[in-house]
Amino acid sequence: MEDSLSLQALPTWFAVLPDTDAAATVAAPALAHADQALRHPSGRPWLVGRWTPSGIVVGECGGTRIAVLGEHSVTAEAARRAAAAVDGTSLSTLDRISATWAGSFHLVASRDRRVRVQGGVVGIKRVFFTDAALPAAGGVSLASDRADVLAELVGAPLDERRLALELLTLGVPHPLSGSPMWKGVRAQPGGHYLTLDPDGRARETRWWSPPEPHLSLAEGAVRFREALTASVATRTHGRELVTADLGGLDSTAVCCAAARGDAKVAAYTAAIHDELGDDVYWARRTTRALGTVEHHVVPAGELAMTFDGIDVLDDLLDTPSILTVDRNRRMHIVALAAARGSSLHLTGLGGDELLAGAPARLHTMTGTHPLTALRDLRGYTAKYQWSRWRVLRQLLDRRSYRAWLGRVARDLDAPPAPADEPLLDWSAPPRMPGWATPEAVEAVRELLRAHLPDAEPRGRGHGEHREMAAMDGISQWTRHIGQMAAPLGITVAAPYYDDRVIEAALAVRPQERITPWRYKPLIVEAMRGIVPEASRTRGTKANATFEEEAGLRRHRARLLALCEESRLARLGLVDARALREWCRRALSAESESYLLHPTVACEVWLRSREMTPSPRRRPPDGTGKVIRCAR
């Protein structure tokens, strides 16, 4: 095992070991850095790491052990009942049982030397696992909630080709998005669980698929309201204080749902310099109507601009994150919440992808609801000023997702798609930036083409794929915020990414959930009686373009500092001179500045892995109470 940067410094992590003596090779270093450990019924190490005891419950019955970690509604007695319900040697019974649990969590189970490890349906609760063939793995696979923990436990080397993929503008396409940066470490797809067999080998099983969209807006609003309020209540129950973002409509709904509970709610609204930014206006209307929420407005001048501090950041993230460019801005409110005494901060992240939906659903709707599709198509074309010719071309394009990904691989070094390109294709085509070396471009092309034979869309059709892929990507960023917040002792919770909430939204007919004629109709209808009427039907959304452009001017020296002794240049992935010239230019936030974000993320990530780890905050002692069957 190489240096233990993450294992030494991280305040929270866990690793799951197979139930075999062959796992002793990797169990020893894991146990050496862990504060807590649970054992298989056989007595071998099972679940090791660092976690807060209040976030885990463990149940045992009939040789089955179940652990649930995260923000959840599962009691220790419910975990025991779940263990009791497991039949024979199979753990598949847990599909049905866990499908009723609210919140966001990892589920880990052990029975008859088989281990099940399950995360969520999108990227906020990830599961990573190692290749049993890695030299230091001892011939077994192990799993974790963090890729870097596994890489350190088995000494996995950096995968420079995979890092090159992160340079893509507009994000890494499915199925490679969110995959680890190390050779021999893999990510389990959302909606799948991992099984570690008695011989220590790993296999994946799908347990979740998007529901059929069969509910009317009225029916769906009732179900969505129940799911969202249950997810929020799961977090607020038993707490004296919670904090929350209070900005757009999505965070407003979460904040108002939290205000219905017994916990004191302190809400934070970030002002922006743009005079058209109206979050503060609407937040004040909301809090005046509620009358119970403690409200803090953070002046625009107190918030960091984009690119602030990028040359000195030391967050230990397990993948590069484009949130790096806005790290100090986003984390300011989280730090204020922690200073207020909160251990849980609610955010509305996830609402845009889930509630606004994808116009690409029109591909399917043209066949099932042609008149509605034609009306909406006219609305989107006018709203976004799309070219009618490009709209028609995309709508008539019936090529597969595999064909689309093949075109992406072919056109990596082509000019970017126009800013007004319609949103009806499988996704906006990513490109390699102009400062990527020919070797980096070719490495990415080879990597994408290697995945073409097995490339399938994330959902059924263009629209469902775009929605699920967007949720995968943005939930990954939300997971990064959680990793940034963990050293402060605060959990950042995003209820819109809970499995039950996603299911409730996707069960609504797309022709009623997604429309250019109303702003997020599902949340508007679902929040009747929860969000005050003074702000429930808000149809605006703030934009921080000014913060991006001003930040580029103010922090240009920090950008240029990243070009000096660039780690990406050392690896042969970027041309430092070309990057430096781009950073010196006056760039538009809408069409040029964003191209820097992935590169900055990769450069900062590489540098953070070299830094001396900061002292971690140790979670309280204890492992959580184990509830066993009565004898």
Q: Which residue has the tokens 């969000």?
A: 531
CB-side neighbour CA atoms (13 Å) of 20: 21
pLDDT of residue 285: 96
Question: What b/e sequence results for 416-432 when a residue is b if at least 16 CB atoms lie within 10 Å of its CB, and e otherwise?
Answer: bbeeebbbbbbbbbbbb
How far apart (Å, rounded) are the C-alpha atoms in residues 33 and 50?
Answer: 9
Residues 274-298 pLDDT 10s: 777 789 999 999 999 999 999 999 9
Instruction: Yes or no: say if 416 and 168 are a contact pair by the CB < 8 Å rule.
Output: no
Query: 62 Cβ partners below 8 Å, 6+ apart?
Result: 83, 84, 86, 629
How far apart (Å, rounded) are the C-alpha atoms in residues 147 and 153?
Answer: 10
Picking from 341, 116, 99, 196, the residue whose alpha carbon sits closest to that of residue 107 is 116
How far apart (Å, rounded) are the C-alpha atoms in residues 279 and 244?
Answer: 14
Phi, psi of 188 (to 5 degrees): -75, 130
Instruction: Yes or no: say if 292 and 256 are a contact pair by the CB < 8 Å rule.
Output: no
Amino acid identity for residue 572 in this structure: G
Query: 112 Cβ partners below 8 Å, 6+ apart?
Result: 63, 89, 198
Query: 543 Cβ partners below 8 Å, 6+ apart?
Result: 272, 274, 276, 277
Give the ranges where 398-460 is alpha helix by DSSP (H).
401-410, 438-450
Q: Which residue has the tokens 């109709």?
A: 521
Rg over alpha carbons for the chain, rounded to the nearest Å, is 24
Residues 551-570 pLDDT 10s: 889 999 999 999 999 999 99
Q: Which residue has the tokens 């040029």?
A: 592
How far apart (Å, rounded) are the C-alpha atoms in residues 224 and 520?
Answer: 13
Tokens of 423: 């949103």
| Helix/strand/coil (H/E/C) assignment for every residue in 1-14 | CCCCHHHHHCCCEE
pLDDT of residue 523: 97
Instruction: Yes or no: say if 126 and 16 are a contact pair by the CB < 8 Å rule.
Output: no
Amino acid identity for residue 451 in this structure: H
Query: 97 Cβ partners below 8 Å, 6+ apart?
Result: 82, 85
Phi, psi of 66 (to 5 degrees): -130, 135
Q: Which residue has the tokens 């599902």?
A: 522
What is the maximum alpha-carbon separation in the chain? Answer: 73
Antiparallel, parallel or unpaired: β 264-270 and 294-298: parallel
How far apart (Å, rounded) are the C-alpha atoms in residues 457 and 402?
Answer: 8
How far apart (Å, rounded) are the C-alpha atoms in residues 345 and 493?
Answer: 6
Residues of the chain with pLDDT below 70 are 1-4, 89, 544, 589-590, 612-631
Domains of the chain: 5-159+183-208+623-628 (3.60.20.10)
